[in-house]
Chains A and B, each alone.
Chain A
Amino acid sequence: MLSDWLYVGIFLVIATFLPFVAITLAGILGPKKPNRLKSTIYECGIETVGETWVQFRAQYYIFALVFVVFDVETVLLYPWAVAYNQLGLFAVAEAVLFVLILFAALVYAWRKGALRWF
């Protein structure tokens, strides 16, 4: 079991190697003739106006918050699903209850307008 993770580790190291080699190789082989105009950012042809790194809308934040709640709860269903065959009726009833609570939370977030994009 532990060795299986070792193989994933070997794979990770080799996989990390690939993009680094690619970027380094391109950095050596590619031409470098920088000038002022080339290194400006491309938006639509005219010079950019104002800061880019400003605060963006709070709607993303609310979605992220709702996501965290549901993601943690969904991951709780994984061990339940694996052990399902050995659990019996009680665990099923519990899981149904759990998912019903999840649904209630979703409906609550929905009614509160957290899922509305405006």
Chain B
Amino acid sequence: MNATLVIEWVVKSLVIILVLTGGFAYTTLYERKVLARMQVRRGPNRAGPLGILQPVADGIKLIFKEELTPHNADKFIFTVAPVITVVPALVITAVVPWGREISLFGRTFTLYLSNVNVAVLYILSVTSISVYGITLAGWSSNNKYATLGGVRATAQMISYELALGCAYIGPILIVGSMSLVDIVEAQAGVWFIFLQPVAFLVYFLASLAEVNRAPFDMPEAEQELTAGYHTEYSGMKFALFFMAEYIKMIAVAMIGVSLFLGGYLGPGIDRFPILGPVYLFIKVAVWLFVIIWVRATLPRIRYDRLMALGWKVMFPLALLSVMITALVLLFVES
């Protein structure tokens, strides 16, 4: 443990955070563009060529907005809640590998921040923390719609977390390790989406519910709850909630790609390790496209159906998938 090594990890952390915040900004543009095209519109095209400066304009606008706090809100929690929401969203990505080792300036770098051997458990626990931020935000606003939105978010997230947790078990069973680096490397032959189709489907749907995306965006159903838990938020604090949602979207896409779609692996990765992040980027972009596509296609489902789907369909299905995987593995080995 020497100074250069610490500097290396600080630089890596900064790079990841910059990539994620930049990725957040451009995911918003990506979403608006794709949605617009699916609705036969053009989308933002005024700020810069093809609208590529739109996120910058939005960011500058949000920084110079007045921030309002309701006079009867719980002021401290009201300020801390966006922080509690956004930090876990960023921190999840610490264990996702971006590639193998590369040589740069005569030194060897690993293209991941940390190869924790309980990575999947870490992801599961850190994602749960951001629920607190949303619930506290809803509660501290002292607004009935916001409170309802926050409570709904909690109930929804805990319902889908079970299915999500079971979906992780399939790849772990096959690999025998919880480290994401090991899981990705084990997919050099065949991607786990082909070995674990049910787990993949459950993961995809449950992750949509975890990040509150359509058709599971109940906590912010604007027709019935105004804007849900962030009704009272404005300016930068609102931007932080927005950022948390999109960064979580990117994070679940990265984790899903690593678990089921071969992560950073792709043709030619052995000869050119620098291609790793490129493959990861392409796969994440495709995953995000599917998420946006789902939003453009499906209407929001009713709340009681959402709970029923989580408990009565997804969770038993995921458990069944785990059992079948275990039995098949037993037969393959013997």
Binding site for B on A (CB under 8 A): 1, 3-8, 10-12, 14-16, 18-20, 22-23, 25-27, 29-34, 36, 38-44, 48, 52-53, 56, 60, 63-64, 67, 70-71, 74-75, 77-78, 81-85, 89, 92, 95-96, 99, 102-103, 106, 110, 115, 117-118
Question: Of the candidates A25, A64, A117, which one forms a contact with B303 in the assembled complex, judged by CB atoms under 8 Å apart?
Answer: A117
Q: Is the interface of A mostly helix, strand, loop or mixed?
A: helix
CB distance from B85 to the nearest CB of A (A): 9
B residues 138-197 with Cβ under 8 Å of A?
A: 139, 141-145, 147, 151, 154-155, 158-159, 161-162, 165-166, 169, 172-173, 176-178
Cβ–Cβ < 8 Å partners of B87 in chain A: 12, 15-16, 19
Q: Are B17 and A15 in contact (CB under 8 A)?
A: yes
Cβ–Cβ < 8 Å partners of B326 in chain A: 84, 92, 95-96
Given contacts A52-B142, A52-B147, A82 and B83 within 8 Å (CB-CB): no
Binding site for A on B (CB under 8 A): 1, 6, 9-10, 12-14, 16-17, 21, 62-73, 79, 82-83, 86-87, 90-91, 94-95, 113-117, 120-122, 124, 139, 141-145, 147, 151, 154-155, 158-159, 161-162, 165-166, 169, 172-173, 176-178, 226, 231-232, 235-237, 239-240, 303-304, 307-308, 311-312, 315-316, 319, 322-323, 326-327, 329-330, 333
Q: Are B169 and A4 in contact (CB under 8 A)?
A: no
Cβ–Cβ < 8 Å partners of A103 in chain B: 316, 319
**Whole-angstrom CA separation of A96 from B177 in the bound complex:** 20
CB distance from B314 to the nearest CB of A (A): 12
Cβ–Cβ < 8 Å partners of A26 in chain B: 62-63, 65, 67, 235-237
User: What are 27 residue pairs bridging A and B, where the CB atoms are less than 8 Å apart in the complex?
Assistant: A5-B116, A7-B94, A7-B114, A11-B13, A23-B79, A23-B236, A23-B240, A25-B63, A26-B62, A26-B67, A27-B67, A27-B236, A30-B235, A30-B236, A38-B68, A40-B70, A41-B143, A42-B226, A43-B226, A48-B144, A81-B176, A83-B176, A84-B329, A89-B330, A95-B326, A102-B319, A115-B307
